Amino acid sequence: MDQPRRVEHQMTDKGYVPVYTSAIVEQPWSSYSSVEHQTWATLFTRQMALLPGRACDEFFDGMRDLGMSERAIPKFSDINQILLAKTGWTIIGVEGLLPEVDFFTHLANRRFPVTWWIRKPEQIDYISEPDLFHDLFGHVPLLMLPIFADYMQAYGEGGLKAARYGNEPLTELTRLYWYTVEFGLLNTANGLRIYGSGIVSSKSESLYSLESAAPNRIGFDLKRVMCTRYRIDTFQKTYFVIDSFEQLFRATVDPDFGPIYYELKGSPAFAAGEVRDNDRVFQRGSGEGWLQDGDV
């Protein structure tokens, strides 16, 4: 079989643009270099030291049961034995970002795409696109939690449905993914905890999302989130806080989004850093260090 390709964002005269690829590949585990295993070890060790008291218990439970360690880049086949038995999910190797409908189709079938390649040493602290560390360390532990596993499958089905409704519904559904799966916070009796994969896989954002005075932290509300723009190039200006995974499930999986898409049609989106009158505010951000333009 051919070596899988490493599909990365391309530099153009308009800056970096994402490149999409549909291929599913075997993880070329024996071809990882010692530098690549070391990159995994550095990132794994650093996050596992930082996250106690910051990431939610469910993340650590999943991580422990999956048996990931700093010793080496995990084998997808080892992960799958445990994950499939626990929640019926499998991970599949991919070369980079997938086209939306492909991504939704995989989720709807309980397959989570994981990029086979890991970032270069000079990208340890920041990479603008998902790599193996983000996908595997960030996303897969919560797929061990039955209610979150079901949420992710329902999200895939919801994505296929939104794609039939059109571009605006797709944008609104994508915001939901961004502010929950990627950048969500959970309210617990011991304080706020991280569950979003974009946060748990980043040292600086793990600290910023919970401890900085700059960002807003606002209670989760479905339509509010669906109408809120976000940042892809810097820390979030706003984090949305759920009270429980049950709350998230009831608010998103249960309702039929058809009427909601219809109701939201043509309504203007909120800026990423805006605080609204009806918001349940955990923290009103100071806004320090915010860039003025660039919300998507």
Residue 161: name its binding partner from Co ion, ligand PHE, none (Cβ under 5 to 8 Å by kind): ligand PHE
Chain positions contacting ligand PHE, by CB under 6 A: 151, 154-155, 158, 161, 176, 252-253, 255-257
139 is catalytic: yes
Token reading at 258: 């058809």
Instruction: Map the footprint of Co ion across residues 183-212, applying CB under 5 A.
Output: 197
Cβ-contact 239, 184 below 8 angstroms: yes
Judged by CB under 5 A, the number of residues near Co ion is: 1
Q: CA 155 to CA 259: how far, in whole Å?
A: 17
151 or 239: CB nearest ligand PHE:
151
Q: Quick one: CA torsion of 32, 36, 37, 43, rounded to 10 degrees?
A: -150
138 alpha carbon, distance to own chain's centre:
7
Residue 158: name its binding partner from ligand PHE, Co ion, none (Cβ under 5 to 8 Å by kind): ligand PHE
C-alpha distances in Å from residue 34, one per residue of 68, 117, 125 = 17, 13, 19
Identified catalytic residue from 95, 134, 172, 197: 134
100 or 129: CB nearest ligand PHE:
100
211 is catalytic: no
Residue 147 C-beta: closest distance to ligand PHE, Å: 11
Token reading at 279: 């918001």
Q: CA 260 to CA 263: how far, in whole Å?
A: 5
31 is catalytic: no
Residue 161 C-beta: closest distance to ligand PHE, Å: 5
Active site residues: 134, 139, 182, 201
